[in-house]
Amino acid sequence: MAMFKRTWRQGEITVVLLIVGAFTVLAACTISTSPLPPDERRAQSLDKSLICPICPGETIDRSQVLLANQMQVIVREQIEEGRSDSDIRQFFVDRYGERVLAAPPKEGFNLLMWIAPPVGVVLALLVLYFVTKSMLRPGSAPALRTSGAGDNADSELDAYLELVDKEMGEVDESTEQSDKNDTEGT
C-alpha cells in the first residue's frame, strides 16, 4: 500500500511539472525576440494614448475602424517629419478635441480627476483605521451581562407578555360584545 501511495505522489508531481513546463514554453513563444525600431515603439505608444473618435473608450491601436487606421498613419507620418509627441497629440486635440486623449491633461478641472482617487483612498484608510481603533479600544465595548442581569431580562419579558395577554383579553371581550349586539339587532 505504501508503494502505491509513493507512485501516486510521483505521478502528481510529474503532472504538475509538465503543466508548469507547458506554460513556460507558451510564455517563451509569446515573447518577441526582435526589438522594435525606436520610431515604431514611439508610434505604438502614441497609438495607445489616443482614443478613436468613433469608438467610445477604444484607443486607435485597438480599433479596427478606418478612421483609427488613418490616425495611425498620420502618427507615423508626423514622427517621420520629426514632430514631438506633444505636438502630435496637440494636432489630434485641435482636430477632435480633448476627448481624443486617453489620459486627460493634468490641469484645470481635469486635475481633480487625478487627485480625487488617491485622496479618496487615503481618507477611506483613515476612516477604517479610526473605526478599527475605536472598536478595539478597551472600555468601548458594552459590558457583558452578569448572571443577575438575565433575571431582570426575564422579568421584563414576563411583564411584557402579561400586558399583551391583558390587551388580547380586552380585544376578545370587545369582539364578544359586538357579536352579541349584532345578534340582538337581527
**184 compared with 145, residue with greater pLDDT:** 184
What is the pTM (predicted TM-score) of this model?
Answer: 0.47
Please state the three-class secondary structure of the chain as a single string: CHHHHHHHHHHHHHHHHHHHHHHHHHHHHHCCCCCCCHHHHHHHHHHHHEECCCCCCCECCCCCCHHHHHHHHHHHHHHHCCCCHHHHHHHHHHHHCHHHECCCCCCCCHHHHHHHHHHHHHHHHHHHHHHHHHHHCCCCCCCCCCHHHHHHHHHHHHHHHHHHHHHHHHHHHHHHHHHHHHHHHC
**38-100: CATH number:** 1.10.8.640
Structure confidence by residue, pLDDT tens digits, 39-54: 899 999 999 999 999 9
Q: Which of 21-30, 68-77, 98-107, 133-142 has the highest mean pLDDT?
A: 68-77
Q: What percent of the chain has pLDDT over 90?
A: 35
Q: Note the pLDDT of residue 139.
A: 66
Structure confidence by residue, pLDDT tens digits, 108-130: 777 888 889 999 999 999 999 99
Q: Note the pLDDT of residue 140.
A: 56
Q: Note the pLDDT of residue 134.
A: 87
